[in-house]
Amino acid sequence: MAKKKNKKIIRYRHPRNINVGMIIFAIIFVYMAFSVYTYMKKDKIQFYEVAEGSIVNDYQHTGMILREERVETADRSGYINYYVREGKRAAIGTRVYSIDETGSMADFLEENPEANVTLTEANLADIKRQLSSFALSYSGRDFSEMYDLQYSLEAAVLEYVNFNSLGNLDALLQQTGISLQQVTAPVSGVISYAIDGYEQLEASQVTAEIFDRSGYSKAITKAGRLIEQSAPVYKLVTSDDWSIVFPLSESDVQEYTGRTQLHVTFSSNDLETDGSFSIITGADGASYGKLDFSQYMVQFISDRYVNFEVSVDSTEGLKIPVTAVTTKNFYLVPLEYMVQGGDISAPGFLKEIYTENGSETEFTPATIYYSTEDYFYIDMGENAPLKAGDYVVKPDSQDRYQIGSSASLQGVYNINKGYAVFKQIEILNSNDEYYTIKKGTSYGLSVYDHIVLNADTVYEGELIYQ
């Protein structure tokens, strides 16, 4: 009998081949992903390139304007009309205002519209200019300026009308029997209608109370208003010389002492100028600054108080950010203990060590960070070559000095060599953002050095990748 064939099929198992290339690629991919992640998470160290420059410090002040002012009063009662606008210069004999004792002029103009003269194109252009200038400089902090503008425009319109129709109006008034008392300027000067009681104030009479503006007010007599005899109606500023007196703090006195001129900016008038400066003592014994000018008086004719900035240039030097500066402590070693090693560029000290044979000296190199007339400043960190309690020996002598005395220095971290190195600085001046430091120091910075922008983000010796 024939045997049955075995139909069971056994699959052949292929050996597993490990793809080494894929494994290497996966390892590289994981490494790169981890490197990118750690780089993204790591705080970025920014650097700053040292440059030459100076710091301009701006000091804000509010001062009181003093001028040669002469107040004129009315010699009779009546309705007043002005012919010269605020801030315009009047010569001796110039008609400044008129007084209508009966009030008939207003009625006459109302009944005779033909007597009123329209404004010219030039008049209208000047009024538009005044409005545009006011709109650009107006601040809502002082709404009273709106009333000053209104009065100034009223005076300007009256002046233009008077100039255009003075002859015809006088003739018409004479025909109707209306008589106006014309008042002229007794001296030459600039006209102002703002009267506040400080017209005769001298710089030596200034006190701190005067700068409290809460109770300040100024009287302005408007055209067409009824005034009483002897009432102040306008004032004449008889000189182009004027002054600003302002309070000084103790720091201001220190900053301005020795200066005879200051650079001043008036932001409200978009004006910069220089003024002669002096420090005076007020009636209350306090110190005040006094700025004297011989021009631009007219621009401030309506003002008693003025805000301004004083720009003070600091000494030229190297300019660095405030954030780059840190403080570090150092050991102090007398100058006479320093020796040179085998390499002339490697200063150091003879450190006293102890062996089985007794005490010996060993040259120990040390980095010098700064020096004075008496001491070198050396590192006192964990890896410092000299520690507190160590002794150093004076060359060619038996004198010994124990390490321990310390002092601090201000400085920055220089990263020119790829790692953070402390460099001492000498600050000459500063503001909120920058220091001006002395250039050319033995252990300091030079132009174009790279320093860490924020000293708090590194430690000395840390590797820096720029």
Note the pLDDT tens digit of each residue in 52-65: 888 777 889 999 99
Cβ atoms < 10 Å from Cβ of 465: 7
Average pLDDT over residues 95-99: 88
In whole angstroms, what is the distance from residue 81 CA to residue 234 CA?
12
Question: Which CA distances in Å does 442 have to 118, 267, 426?
Answer: 78, 43, 11
Is pLDDT larger for residue 117 or for residue 410?
410
In whole angstroms, what is the distance from residue 64 CA to residue 412 CA?
44
In whole angstroms, what is the distance from residue 209 CA to residue 213 CA?
9
Give the number of C-alpha atoms closer than 13 A to the C-alpha of residue 201, restricted to the C-beta side: 21
Q: How confident is the model at residue 138 (pLDDT cuts 50, 70, 90)?
A: low
Coil, helix or strand at residue 123: helix
Q: How confident is the model at residue 108 (pLDDT cuts 50, 70, 90)?
A: low
Q: How confident is the model at residue 336 (pLDDT cuts 50, 70, 90)?
A: very high
Q: How are beta strands 427-430 and 434-437 bridged, if at all?
A: antiparallel
Q: Which of 180, 160, 83 is closest to 116 using CA atoms? A: 160
> What residues does each domain of the chain span?
60-313, 320-457
Which range has the worst mean pLDDT, 86-90, 162-166, 228-232?
162-166
Is pLDDT larger for residue 383 or for residue 247?
247
Query: What's the confidence (pLDDT) of residue 127?
Result: 75
Is 90 exceeded by the pLDDT of residue 145? Answer: no
Most confident of the following: 151-165, 268-282, 337-351: 268-282
Both tokens assigned to 122? 């030039």
Q: How confident is the model at residue 85 (pLDDT cuts 50, 70, 90)?
A: confident
Is 60 exceeded by the pLDDT of residue 165? Answer: no
Is 90 exceeded by the pLDDT of residue 236? Answer: yes
In whole angstroms, what is the distance from residue 285 CA to residue 289 CA?
13
For 451, phi then psi, to 5°, come to -125, 160
Q: How confident is the model at residue 139 (pLDDT cuts 50, 70, 90)?
A: low
Element containing residue 172 per DSSP (H, E): helix 144-176
State the average pLDDT for the chain: 83
Q: How confident is the model at residue 238 (pLDDT cuts 50, 70, 90)?
A: very high
Decide if 376 contacts 368 (C-beta within 8 A): yes
Which range has the worst mean pLDDT, 16-20, 185-189, 357-361, 409-413?
16-20
Which range has the worst mean pLDDT, 71-85, 140-154, 160-174, 343-357?
160-174
In whole angstroms, what is the distance from residue 167 CA to residue 161 CA?
11
For 84, phi then psi, to 5°, come to -120, 130
In whole angstroms, what is the distance from residue 441 CA to residue 427 CA?
12
Is pLDDT larger for residue 166 or for residue 9?
9
For 59, phi then psi, to 5°, come to -110, 125
pLDDT in tens, 374-431: 999 999 888 888 999 999 999 988 899 999 999 999 999 999 988 999 999 999 888 8
Give the single-character DSSP code of 301: T
Q: Which of 302, 157, 155 is closest to 235 using CA atoms? A: 302
Q: How confident is the model at residue 293 (pLDDT cuts 50, 70, 90)?
A: very high
Average pLDDT over residues 423-441: 89
In whole angstroms, what is the distance from residue 99 CA to residue 225 CA?
10
Decide if 61 contacts 307 (C-beta within 8 A): yes
Query: What's the confidence (pLDDT) of residue 178?
Result: 66
Is pLDDT larger for residue 381 or for residue 248?
248
In whole angstroms, what is the distance from residue 450 CA to residue 159 CA?
66
Going through 17-175 in order, the beta strands assigned E by DSSP cover 47-49, 51-53, 56-73, 78-82, 89-90, 95-100
**Torsion sign (Cα): 194, 197, 199, 201:** negative
Query: What's the confidence (pLDDT) of residue 190?
Result: 95
Is 60 exceeded by the pLDDT of residue 340? Answer: yes
pLDDT in tens, 22-46: 788 888 888 888 877 766 666 668 8
- Give the CA-trace dihedral at 267, 273, 274, 277, to 10 degrees: -40
Give the single-character DSSP code of 374: S
Question: Which CA distances in Å does 27 have to 22, 34, 72?
Answer: 9, 11, 97
Is 60 exceeded by the pLDDT of residue 90? Answer: yes
Query: What's the confidence (pLDDT) of residue 428?
Result: 87
Decide if 241 contacts 298 (C-beta within 8 A): no
Is 70 exceeded by the pLDDT of residue 302? Answer: yes
Is 70 exceeded by the pLDDT of residue 167? Answer: no
Is 90 exceeded by the pLDDT of residue 221? Answer: no
Is pLDDT larger for residue 459 or for residue 177?
459
Is 60 exceeded by the pLDDT of residue 1? Answer: no
Give the number of C-alpha atoms closer than 13 A to the C-alpha of residue 313, restricted to the C-beta side: 8
Is pLDDT larger for residue 207 or for residue 110?
207
